[in-house]
Amino acid sequence: MSLLITRPRYESVTHYFYHWSEEIVKEAKRRIGKVFDLEKDKASRKLVESYLEKQNPEIAIFNGHGNDVCVTGHDEEPLIVSGENSYLLKDKIVYMRSCDSGKALGPQAIKEGCKAFIGYSELFRFWTDKALVTEPLKDEYAKPFFETSNQVPLSLIKGRTAQEAQMDSLIEYKRIIGNLLTSNAENSFVVSDLIWNMHNQVCLVK
């Protein structure tokens, strides 16, 4: 099995995506034969298209900004665009941690043969602690959002199906939300946005 992951890092949002994806990369390297980690400026359309075509990874993970028809990489360069190069996702299991990717891009990819697509039908929301922006992994405001969303690729890496990975993630959402609601945690105010992400995390299958 092989996996491709994009980790652009050029401003605050992608800075968090980059660091919170380190766990995914480490677990993939531990369990999977080939891991193609396109980080920082390597998250370019040229390289993404090349790896998808020539290496043909079974799993593709995208982190970045986006909208209903595309997901972006370094400096917001469109990497995958619905109807242009979305056919490159054929026969792959795809997870996009990107706003609105589940609206049009996901369904189009499925039409073109993508095996399964997990993404978000609306904005992907998360909170940050301004005092910890230079140390994202210590940010307790952000932690619940990335523990829940990271569960998707972590389950896929373990050989779970897309539907199972989606369910694992939803279970993690409910566990964390339940803990926050029944505790006096300082970050309990993030619950409404966790619920938002949970309801808008979609799993599409061929």
User: Tokens at residue 153, please?
Assistant: 């690729």
Tens-digit pLDDT profile for residues 102-157: 999 999 999 999 999 999 999 999 999 999 999 999 999 999 999 999 999 999 99
Spatial CA neighbour of 98 closest among 60, 134, 132: 60
Tens-digit pLDDT profile for residues 180-203: 998 877 889 999 999 999 999 999
Residue 51 has pLDDT above 90, yes or no: yes
End-to-end CA, the chain: 20
- Those residues whose C-beta lies under 8 Å from the C-beta of residue 172, and which sit 6 or more positions away, are 147, 148, 151
Spatial CA neighbour of 59 closest among 33, 77, 83: 33
pLDDT-derived band at 177, boundaries 50, 70, 90: very high
In which residue are the tokens 């652009």 written? 8
In which residue are the tokens 């602690």 written? 129
pLDDT of residue 183: 81
pLDDT of residue 187: 87
pLDDT of residue 33: 81
pLDDT of residue 94: 98
Largest CA distance in the chain: 51
Which one is predicted more confidently, 65 or 187? Answer: 65
Tens-digit pLDDT profile for residues 67-104: 999 999 999 999 999 999 999 999 999 999 999 999 99
pLDDT-derived band at 38, boundaries 50, 70, 90: very high
Class of 2-205 in CATH: alpha beta
SS3 state of residue 70: strand
